[in-house]
Amino acid sequence: MVHFVYPYLFWILIIPFFILAVLVITNKSRLDRLFDPQILDRLRANKDTLPQVVRNILFFTALFMMIIAMARPVIDKGEKKISLQGSNIVLALDISNSPKSVANYSNILDYTKQKTKILLQNLSNDEVALTAFANNAFLVSPFTADKFALEEMLDGIDNRSVKNNFRNFRALGKLIVLLTKNKPNKIAIIIGNDINEDIPEEFTSLLSKNDIKLFIVPAKGNIDIKELIDFLSSHDADHRDKFILSRDQKELFYYPLGLSLILLLIAWSSLPIRIKK
């Protein structure tokens, strides 16, 4: 069944369309007012081209087709199931110069990157967004399934511009919520050192309120992250048989839009017409 996705646009635009059509059709030029139609027809240099009436009809037909295209006609094929395979994971790297870590923080940042790469190499069906935070939080890469590209971006992260050891969890929380808005199976993984001691309750409450599971991975140490990888794999399996319903629609707007462009081309051109002798 064909219907408009934005029917209100059609009704809003159709009224000024008819007003404009009436004004153009009923309005006469100064020459039309001064001369008799027969005399004016003889004076016209372009009388062998399309008449103005035909041009107006083509122009307003094209304009009407554009209004239909803007209302976005579609064929509704009903609902379809979309499988919820994989998770939407935000990886957040701590790049602050925390005095709790070690004297040479660059080593900790290297450990952080190594742990992140191990995670990326074991996330198969998941979409991953890469972020970093210190006194502010910023996006390194939006959600993507291209793990190789993420590893390339990961290598470019450094903390040379970070001048203090402040960790802005409020900014990080807002960024994670923004990135995962309207996404299913949301997970946030923070990789850094001594993170658990500094995480405020406001941050964890914000993630919990938005159904985002939080995991902390220490950057340094011999702690195996296999348990986290196993959990993520099982989490994907739990959602593999789950679906969300979405409307299956075929777009039709390009048909009236294409027709309107053809009509405008004809209306604005100087096509000759045959004159019967």
Q: Domain spans of the chain? A: 2-76+250-268, 85-241
State the CB neighbour count (10 A cutoff) for residue 240.
12
- The confidence score (pLDDT) of residue 85 equals 60
What is the Cα–Cα distance from 175 to 138, expressed in whole angstroms? 8
Q: Do the beta carbons of residue 185 and residue 239 sit within 8 Å?
A: yes
Residue 36 exposed, middle or buried by CB count within 10 Å (0-12, 13-18, 19+): exposed
One-letter amino acid identity for 187? Answer: I
- The confidence score (pLDDT) of residue 122 equals 83
Tens of pLDDT along 186-199?
Answer: 999 998 877 777 78
What is the Cα–Cα distance from 19 to 27, expressed in whole angstroms? 12
Q: How far is CA 90 from CA 30, 115, 118, in A?
A: 68, 14, 15
Tens of pLDDT along 43-59?
Answer: 555 555 677 788 888 99
Q: Do the beta carbons of residue 27 and residue 236 sit within 8 Å?
A: no
Tens of pLDDT along 169-179?
Answer: 999 999 999 99
Which CATH homologous superfamily contains domain 85-241?
A: von Willebrand factor, type A domain (3.40.50.410)
Pairing state of beta strands 73-83 and 243-251?
antiparallel
Q: Do the beta carbons of residue 104 and residue 145 sit within 8 Å?
A: no
What is the Cα–Cα distance from 5 to 241, expressed in whole angstroms? 30
Tens of pLDDT along 129-183?
Answer: 999 998 899 999 999 988 889 999 998 888 877 766 788 999 999 999 999 998 8
- The confidence score (pLDDT) of residue 124 equals 72
Start-to-end Cα distance in the chain: 50
Residue 52: name the closest of 34, 31, 79 by CA: 31
- The confidence score (pLDDT) of residue 171 equals 94
What is the Cα–Cα distance from 13 to 76, expressed in whole angstroms? 24
The first and second tokens of residue 276, run together, are 């019967």
- The confidence score (pLDDT) of residue 194 equals 76
The first and second tokens of residue 140, run together, are 């390194």
Q: Read off the pLDDT band of 5 (50, 70, 90).
A: confident
